[in-house]
């Protein structure tokens, strides 16, 4: 995806400003149904997007599934693996993971969301977070989209806002968090 690496800087700049930093990562089995060339039983497939639409990516236990090296991983408190069900895209960080329980246990009321991709995993994670009752702020300089159709990322941000998410930027957050 274009400029996906550009978000590491803004994310790193934010890491000291939050009590809990959670990273989600795709952790797909090698035969994951989202991958091109993988045969999927349509009766078993769950989810809105069709199967077999993405290049092979983020296969469990391979370097492609690791967190991006430029990210300051020592400041990540918890890593959540997602997308392990071969019969679902697994876009949302909440889908079939312990993320919801973790955030409730830690009494989190607002999430500040960064990452890839705006129009798929970020969008679905944010919409699930809203359904679960969390406040959400999306940091638009710390997300990037695929934009299969031009404008997909902008439309995704609008959809997140309609669901009650706020849109801000890493600079705004850092300004607000720095004591005057």
Residues near Zn ion (CB under 5 A): 26, 83
Spatial distance between the Cα atoms of 85 and 64, rounded to a whole number of angstroms? 18
Residue 51 or 83: which CB sits closer to Zn ion? 83
Q: Closest distance between Zn ion and the C-beta of residue 155, in Å?
A: 20
Q: Closest distance between Zn ion and the C-beta of residue 159, in Å?
A: 20
Residue 26 or 119: which CB sits closer to Zn ion? 26
First to last CA, the chain: 38
Residue 63 or 133: which CB sits closer to Zn ion? 63
Residue 18 or 45: which CB sits closer to Zn ion? 45
The residue of the chain with the least Cβ separation from Zn ion equals 26
Which of 88, 34, 93 is closest to 58 using CA atoms? 34
Cβ proximity of 96 and 84 under 8 Å: yes
Q: Closest distance between Zn ion and the C-beta of residue 52, in Å?
A: 12
SS3 label, residue 16: helix
- Using only C-alpha atoms, the chain has a radius of gyration, in whole angstroms, of 16
> Strand pairing of 78-82 and 22-26?
parallel
For residue 113, what are the CA distances in angstroms to 28, 88, 135, 142, 169? 22, 22, 11, 8, 10
- Residue 23 forms beta bridges with which residues? 79
Q: Closest distance between Zn ion and the C-beta of residue 33, in Å?
A: 10
Q: Closest distance between Zn ion and the C-beta of residue 82, in Å?
A: 8
Residue 93 or 170: which CB sits closer to Zn ion? 93
């Amino acid at each position: 995806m274009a400029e996906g690496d550009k978000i590491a800087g803004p994310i790193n700049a934010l890491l000291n400003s939050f009590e809990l930093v959670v990273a989600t990562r795709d952790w797909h089995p090698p035969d994951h149904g989202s991958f091109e060339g993988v045969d999927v039983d349509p009766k078993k497939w769950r989810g809105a997007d069709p199967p077999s639409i993405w290049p092979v990516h983020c296969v469990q236990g391979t370097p492609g599934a690791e967190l991006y090296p430029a990210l300051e991983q020592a400041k990540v408190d918890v890593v959540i693996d997602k997308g392990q069900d071969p019969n679902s895209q697994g876009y949302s960080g909440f889908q079939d993971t312990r993320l919801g329980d973790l955030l409730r246990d830690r009494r989190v009321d607002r999430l500040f969301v960064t990452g890839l991709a705006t129009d798929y995993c970020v969008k679905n994670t944010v919409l699930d977070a809203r359904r679960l009752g969390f406040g959400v702020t999306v940091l638009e300089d710390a997300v990037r989209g695929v934009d299969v159709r031009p404008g997909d990322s902008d439309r995704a941000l609008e959809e997140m806002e309609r669901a009650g998410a706020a849109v801000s930027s890493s600079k705004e957050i850092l300004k607000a968090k720095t004591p005057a």
